[in-house]
Structures are given as structure tokens and as C-alpha cells.
Amino acid sequence: MKRIAFWWIIIILIFTLASCGGIQNWWTKLGANVKTGNYTVSVYSYGKEPLKVWHIKNGYVNTESNSDGWYFDYNGKLIRISGTVVVEEE
């Protein structure tokens, strides 16, 4: 009985901590390393020249859930972008 109560407390703590922004960023960053590939990610402003371009080697680009955003790991940093984005797999 004590063992079941212990695991319920652990599960509740995990769900409580998962709602914190820092923990969510950490989980998102872990998810950015699931599948590798070579990508070029470009963010555009008003359909003209790209504002920023990232060349990702052996990395992963994923979409944000319930959003128009994207996220990926670039040189050890979690990058989140949204708007007019073009993701090209090389």
C-alpha cells in the first residue's frame, strides 16, 4: 500500500512540475533531438528577403502543438520561431 501511495505522489509531482515553464522548455529541447537530418530554416518578413536563416546539420525541426510555431536545437540552444517560416530538408 505504501508503495502505491509513493508512486502516486511521484506521478503527481511530475505533472505538477511539467506545468512549469522551465520544465516545459527542457522537455521541448529534449524532443528536438529525436530524429536527425539536415535542414535549412528561413524566417521571412512580408514575403521579401529572409530575416534569419539557420543551417542545421544532423538536427531536428519540429512544429509546436496548437501553434504556427517551430522549434529546433541550434548549437545547443533551443530556438522557437513562428510566422512565415520555410523549412527545407536537404
pLDDT of residue 25: 66
Grid coordinates of 59: 538536427
Grid coordinates of 1: 500500500
Grid coordinates of 8: 502516486
Task: Round the CA-based radius of gyration of the chain to a whole number and report it.
Answer: 18
| pTM: predicted TM-score of the whole model, two decimal places | 0.59
Q: How far apart are CA 64 and CA 82, in angstroms?
A: 9
- Provide the residue ranges of all domains of the chain, joining segments of one domain with +: 2-89
Instruction: Give yes or no for a contact between 50 and 84, defined as CB atoms under 8 angstroms apart.
Output: no
**pLDDT of the chain along its 90 residues, tens only?**
677 878 877 777 776 666 666 666 666 666 555 567 899 999 998 867 899 999 999 888 888 877 888 889 898 899 999 888 898 888
Inter-axis angle of helices 21-31 and 2-18, nearest 10 = 90
Handedness of CA 42, 40, 69, 14 (dihedral sign): negative
pLDDT of residue 11: 76
